Amino acid sequence: MVIDSTINNNVGVARHLGNIAIVYNDLKNYTVAIDYYFRALKLKEEYSDEREVAYTLGNIGNTFATLAELNNDKSLYSKALDYDNRALQILQKIGDENGIARNLGNIGIINNKQNNNIEAKKYLLKALVLCDKTGMLHEKMDFEIILSDAYLKMGNYKESLAHYKLYAASRDSIFNIEKSNEITSKQLTYDFEKNKIKQEIRNNADKEKIKAVAVETEKKQNSIIISVIIILIIVVILSVFLYSRFKITQKQKNIIELKEKETQQQNAIITTQKLLVEEKHREITDSINYAERIQRSFLATKELLDENLKEYFVFFKPKDVVSGDFYWSAKLSNGNFALATADSTGHGVPGAIMSLLNVTSLEKAIEHYTNPADILNHTRQTIIERLKKDGSEEGGKDGMDCSLLAFDFSKNQLLIAAANNPIWIIRSNSPFEVGVRRKGDFELIEIKPDKMPVGKSDKQDQSFATHTLKLQKGDTIYTLTDGFPDQFGGPNGKKFMNKKLKELLLANVHLPISKQKELLDEVFKNWVGDLEQVDDVTIIGIKV
């Protein structure tokens, strides 16, 4: 490339740049590959080689498609389609049917990856028509399997199976052609070697005859007979050897063909099963995602929280897609604003179903009550009534741990009722009291919960207590479930614990509320590391 650049041979330089790009592509260094493709494209556009320009545009499109898939970046898919379409326009202009078929197929493949199934089908069908016309068997095989997948995504199993069979037929044709060429090559090699041996035998025979004549003329006849016998023996031995090798080769060929046929059948079965499993997985995933949308509709809305709280964050991290944890809010009939942070029995789908029962029970309770303790008492009774016929021997010992806050903004008061979940309030420069922890210029006030759930228990006839707290400007209130403190992690795989969480909040309460949420998220991820999240996690922070 240096020599071509020195003599201003742009055609040569462009070819070298393209080859370098291909090498980087093979090394999976796609960003560098794209840079070299663009440098080659610029030169090819300058000396107006339309075919080379089109091929380079197509290579750029393929590389962007690969990057899009690796990074799950839809914008890169758009770039890939743009370059493939530009290449297609040029190829259609110059009538390069092979290039047109490849670009149509590439556009179809990108649309299939983006689940644009109808568009994928349209381009792939056009590409396959040209593949049949031009005899492009390898491309036909690649496009048939992608088209089969596109039909499968659209639920058209009949067409999906039909194109899968066409894919298998193309694959078998390629295999048969390659095998035929291999056998022909071996046969030619065999014939050449056989003729070479025969010629060597003839030459040796002639030498023996000349030598016999020179040495002893009278023994000419005997020498000839001996030579003929030797030749016949060699020929017989050679024939037996070659025939034996031929039979072994034929047997090996039959075994290989049988194994390949069995492998093809097994691959077809595996592929079909894989497609069925993937379809079932998609159905289950779609159902769970739909359930998550339903559950989210029961959570406190951002509009209602923004309307009643000035500064707050919600750190909500379910273990699975759906969650047993939930946060709920409502405007009470006396004008107070209620906010609940709760941990339902279980997690995943069972926990999510339980959370919906808990939310509807809270909504029923606030139709009659405004005091937090009365709301939890009524909610508990509703849950017990609804679960007593659940089929278990205990008669429905499910429910939730919950902290319920009621903000009276007119009196600047906070009314609290809590079942197993604590409430922490961090205050600046307050006098030291019992149950208060200091950290620099801040102290942490803990409102301890009643040690009983909102549900069936030995204490179900006891009333929850209501705590009343006068709020001060700058107070930060934290409500939480047990998911964060109970998470295993760190260098020794131990629980995070409430003590460490309190210290973390005290040390960072001076930060803006949004930064506190980001910090909690970062600390949690680092703490979990390579371990599994064990429970749903919810922490809500509110600055007064």
Q: Look at residue 435 in the predicted model and tell me its pLDDT.
A: 45
CATH number of 299-543: 3.60.40.10
Number of H helices, E strands in the chain: 15, 14
Q: What pLDDT is attached to residue 440?
A: 59
The answer on pLDDT for 102 being more than 70 is yes
Q: Report residue 192's pLDDT band, with 50, 70 and 90 as the boundaries.
A: low
Higher model confidence: residue 238 or residue 366?
Answer: 366
What distances in angstroms separate CA 373 from CA 369, 382, 469, one per listed residue? 9, 14, 14
- Regarding pTM above 0.75, the answer is no
Examine the pLDDT at 390 and tell me if it is beyond 90. no
Looking at residue 537, its pLDDT comes to 96
Fold of 2-177: 1.25.40
Q: What are 405-463's pLDDT values in tens digits? A: 999 999 999 999 999 999 999 998 655 443 444 445 799 999 999 999 999 999 999 99
Res 287: pLDDT: 56
pLDDT for position 187: 58
pLDDT-derived band of residue 217, with 50, 70 and 90 as boundaries?
low
Annotated domain spans of the chain = 2-177, 195-292, 299-543
Residues facing residue 224 across a β-bridge = none
What pLDDT does 191 receive? 58
Q: How far is CA 183 from CA 177, 191, 229, 244, 355, in A?
A: 10, 12, 34, 17, 69
**In contact, 505 and 478? CB cutoff 8 Å:** yes
Report the pLDDT value the prediction gives residue 234, as an integer from 0 to 100.
76
Q: What is the average per-residue pLDDT within 337-351?
A: 90
Q: Residue 429 contacts by C-beta under 8 Å, 6 or more apart in sequence?
A: 441
pLDDT 10s digits, 361-385: 999 999 999 999 999 999 999 999 9
- For residue 127, give both structure tokens: 């590409």
* pLDDT in the model for residue 75: 86
